[in-house]
Amino acid sequence: MRELCLGIDLGTSGVKAVATDRDDRVVAQATAALAVHRPRPHWSEQAPEDWWQATLRAVVTLPADVRRAVRAVGLTGQMHGAVLLDAADRPLRPAILWNDGRSAPQCAELERREPRARQITGNLAMPGFTAPKLLWVREHEPELFARTARVLLPKDYLRLRLTGERASDMSDAAGTLWLDVARRDWSDAMLAATGLERAHMPGLVEGTEPAGRIRPDVAAHLGLDSVIVAGGGGDNAASAVGCGVVAPGDALLSLGTSGVLFVVTDRFRPNPEQAAHAFCHALPGLWHQMAVMLSAASALDWAAPLTGCADVPAAAAAAERRGPRADTPLFLPYLAGERTPHNDAHARGVFFRLSADTTSADLVMAVLEGVAHGLCDGLDALAAAGGHIDDLSVVGGGARLPYWMRLLASALDRRLVLRAGGDVGAALGAARLARIASGEDARAVCLAPPVQAVFEPEPSLAEWLHRRRPAYRGLYERLQDSFKEFPP
């Protein structure tokens, strides 16, 4: 069999292993499911051991001849999670995930301790980031904090188990609030503000550099050779690499658990006041701006069973049959709080203007529309931060819903371009980074994949959405204080 690369994507709902050849063809793929534990309101946790076991299951599910042909591995996955390890590299507690909101009070404390935080990191302190989580642990679990010898990000815990190396790449590290993003190095000042030092941090590499080699015992168990593991990237940066979004001005829309608008920049261009992010790209010498809403395709995953639909495609089909109506309810998609542009961990989902005539299809239509309006808020935030976006390449599970793509194109007033491999975007990007780490030329590897479909804005949908957007925005403005008055 021809030489292959393996991309491993540690998502929130599962671990995906995707083997690709040198032409980006997906030769085999497998997924192992994960569950999120929510022991208290606002909390979101997973056990690192569960990630590891899911990774083993996903990889060994691939055909044996495919595994034997793998020549390099790339890692990607959910960002911001806090994996606390003791001196023997054992997890001290469940990992606190990116969509965990418990550390909202610690965000203000972090910026009080280091007034230059926004200039150094390019971002507002938000509870999704890693550093405020460590302040929460320091305050509420001081004995565990004292025993913490190392802090890793989720995909880098997999690297540790695969290779024994403690390393992270620039794009993922930029989401911790410990990185000096312009300098692409740890910030001693931000670490000190959290009570940590460089010794607590993994080594830093670019996403295209080798960062370990699979240990012989692990390789034997997985049926792989002891191949290199690339630095890899955070899930959105890896998705961008997979889509060929690698030149300044190139842009991506990711519709996974969260919704992300991503635009490449040639330098560090922060504007944290808009609650937009400025991170390193997974490729050397590049950065990106990003707007994030915490519930996107996950809002549909929630709505489908709630409305009695068999699955998400059935729910979207019901909404399409019902269509946009004057009496369609409004929906605020803040099921887990929100980042861009509100930075509001207290915000929650709301259906507004229900009546005795409201149907289950109307509710799904409201969810599709609400996420579209939320992404428009993100687009406005990026424009205010100096980002310019034309066409958008689309990845993620939500991209498989053509009617939603039509709505989103009409709301955003942008062409949406679905490319080959978009359904495995982050894993494909990780495999591409592995190819580069193994010696291939980055320019030849990071080409835009073939176009599979294009969705243009539709005037009738655009007019309906544009007319309703002020009511959507006004609803949040009226309710934002109420969210804080009724904590869980």
By annotation, the residues acting in catalysis are 235
Alpha-carbon torsion 440, 417, 269, 202, what sign? negative
Contact 132, 195 (CB under 8 A): no
User: Hey, is 98 helix, strand or coil?
Assistant: coil
Helix axes 459-485, 402-412, angle to 10 degrees: 80
Rounded distance, CA 48 to CA 66, Å?
Answer: 26
User: Hey, is 236 helix, strand or coil?
Assistant: helix
Structure tokens at 251: 């842009």
What is the secondary structure of 272-324 as a DSSP string?
A: GGGT-EEEE-SSTT-EEEEEEES-SHHHHHHHHHHTT-SSHHHHHHHHHHH--
Tell me, what DSSP letter sits at residue 398?
A: G
Rounded distance, CA 332 to CA 335, Å?
Answer: 8
56's enclosing H/E stretch is helix 48-61
User: Residue written as tokens 């569950």?
Assistant: 35
Contact 21, 90 (CB under 8 A): no
**CA-to-CA separations, 329 to 268, 363, 427, in angstroms, rounded:** 40, 7, 37
Q: What angle do CA 455, 295, 283 make, to 5 degrees?
A: 70
Q: Using only C-alpha atoms, what is the Rg of the chain?
A: 21
Helix axes 425-437, 235-243, angle to 10 degrees: 80
DSSP lists the bridge partners of residue 161 as none
Rounded distance, CA 139 to CA 150, Å?
Answer: 18
Among candidates 157, 229, 160, which has minimal Cα distance to 438? 229
What is the secondary structure of 415-472 as a DSSP string?
A: -EEEETTGGGHHHHHHHHHHHHHTT--HHHHSPPPPEEEEE---HHHHHHHHHHHHHH
Tell me, what DSSP letter sits at residue 357?
A: T
Contact 428, 339 (CB under 8 A): no
User: Hey, is 443 helix, strand or coil?
Assistant: helix
Helix axes 312-322, 402-412, angle to 10 degrees: 60
User: Hey, is 432 helix, strand or coil?
Assistant: helix
